């Protein structure tokens, strides 16, 4: 009796690709969470509403993380107005997180 498996190498490659995609999704989720925490840390606090309104959404089956405040005045704080200086909190958090995300993503794709 002989058993022959056809396409085992294709299956193995597919399983490795799926494992890599799961590592990428984990990196996206982790870095999205860290970006959210960083934005909350940088957010100026008067009442705490802006800080507490910063949300994380995982989209596109885990391939995208969106961090955004829901407070209706959030843009004015980030960019300022003609009456108020900008108090950036999202951009500084993003600038800190970006190189960390790139390194995590590179590591996930190399494994």
Domain assignments of the chain as residue spans, ordered by start: 8-110
pLDDT of residue 10: 67
Cβ partners under 8 Å of residue 103, min gap 6: none
Say what the pTM is: 0.83
Of the candidate ranges 4-8, 16-20, 22-26, 44-48, the one whose mean pLDDT is the lowest:
4-8
Average pLDDT over residues 12-27: 76
- Judge whether residue 2 has pLDDT over 70: no
Mean pLDDT along residues 2-15: 60
pLDDT of residue 4: 56
Tens-digit pLDDT profile for residues 46-93: 999 999 999 999 999 898 999 999 999 999 999 999 999 999 999 999
Burial class (CB in 10 A: 0-12, 13-18, 19+), 54: buried
Q: According to the model, what pLDDT value does residue 31 have?
A: 96
Q: Which of 50, 54, 23 is nearest to 36 (CA)?
A: 54
User: How crowded is residue 15: how many other Cβ atoms within 10 Å of its Cβ?
Assistant: 10
């Amino acid at each position: 009796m002989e058993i022959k498996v056809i396409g085992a190498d294709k299956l193995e490659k597919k399983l490795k690709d799926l494992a890599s995609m799961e590592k990428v999704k984990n990196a996206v989720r982790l870095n999205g969470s860290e970006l959210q925490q960083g934005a909350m840390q940088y957010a100026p606090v008067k009442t705490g509403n802006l800080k507490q309104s910063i949300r994380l959404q995982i989209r596109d089956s885990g391939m995208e993380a969106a961090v955004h405040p829901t407070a209706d005045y959030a843009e004015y704080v980030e960019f300022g107005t003609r009456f108020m200086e900008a108090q950036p909190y999202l951009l500084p958090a993003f600038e800190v997180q970006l190189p960390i995300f790139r390194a995590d993503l590179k590591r996930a794709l190399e494994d």
